[in-house]
Amino acid sequence: MNEEKARRGWARQSAVTDPGAAAGALDALPAELKALREASSQLVFHYRAGGDFAENSVPAERMAEINTRYADAMLALILERGEPALGRDRRAPDRLVGCCRDATVLFLALARHKGIPARARVGFAAYFHPGWLVDHVVAEVWDDRDGRWRLVDPEMGSGWTPEVNGLRVDWLDLTDDQFVTGPRAWRAARAGNADPERYVVAPDLDVPVLRAWPYLAHNAIHDLAALNNTEMLLWDAWGMQLGHGPGLVPQADGAVLDEVCALTADPAVAPDVLTEIGGRDGLRIPPTVTSFDPHGAPPRQVDVTRVVS
């Protein structure tokens, strides 16, 4: 497949990022990467890292918004709160309660609406807690001028400028040590070049399946789904993930992920390759997935036919 034609596939909306009735609000934004990133950084109030709900005037019952799966539903909620415009500063109560995945889904909706090839990457960020690689989702955007994919963080406010290894983080162009994609993290740990215990959902979250090998596998699988334009909730699980408990990943699954990650670690991986491996047993997303609750409620079976049909 022609490389340019292949990239155009990531310029089309997925079932998740399609803005639906909110498309008109996206028309008002400029087709400029910095402006689109600034807009997306104003749309989500992080359910864990955003601060106290009451102090930010966010009703506690809005916690349920973290399970909003589709961009059209997210945008409908956002646009009914305050001035119905996307390109403005938003107070916390005017935002959607969500996480990095949601900020990235919304950014993809904006970028793809402007015809920009963009896709989600699931992995780990080094700029939240020194010494730790923390669960995170960012966007990967095709840069025509430089002829490369660049990593963009759609969630972080422009006023925060952390450093990693002495280099300031540029939210429009993350370096490979500032954000490590799921497959690169898996390969580094498997090769003994990185300590698997450093990869966590959060350093203070002492849940064995949310750190080290099980979560390295989780993010490698979710990254494959995202590359196939199926941007899942981070607490969704399916296929081989459902068999991964604390400790090492089963040997057979590890061998499969070695093969997958050798391909998906390369930003130039072809769409037909992604489609083939994403359709394999254990990796294929079924019409119904198991969705776990970040606050410990019993897992639910969720219909995702819209995503996989």
Residue from 101, 164, 98, 107 nearest 133 by CA: 164
Name the domain count of the chain.
1
The secondary structure of residue 262, as a DSSP letter, is H
Q: By residue range, what is the domain housing residue 68?
A: 3-308
Rg (CA), the chain: 18
pLDDT of residue 5 exceeding 90 = no
pLDDT digits (tens, 9 = 90+) for 133-147: 999 999 999 999 999
C-alpha distances out from residue 272 to 3, 7, 137, 220, 278, Å: 11, 12, 23, 18, 10
* pLDDT of 1: 56
pLDDT digits (tens, 9 = 90+) for 172-226: 999 999 999 999 999 999 999 999 999 999 999 999 999 999 999 999 999 999 9
* Helix extents (H) in the chain: 3-8, 23-27, 33-40, 71-79, 100-113, 182-190, 212-227, 251-264, 271-278, 305-308
- What lies within 8 Å, CB to CB, of 145 at 6+ separation is none
Q: Is residue 179 classed as helix, strand or coil in its secondary structure?
A: strand
Mean pLDDT for the chain?
Answer: 96
Contact between 219 and 123 (Cβ < 8 Å): yes
Element (H, E) at 121: strand 118-125
Q: Determine what percent of the chain is predicted with pLDDT higher than 70.
A: 100
Output the pTM of the full model: 0.97
The secondary structure of residue 211, as a DSSP letter, is B
pLDDT digits (tens, 9 = 90+) for 213-269: 999 999 999 999 999 999 999 999 999 999 999 999 999 999 999 999 999 999 999
pLDDT digits (tens, 9 = 90+) for 27-58: 999 999 999 999 999 999 999 999 999 999 99
List the structure tokens of 30. 């400029």
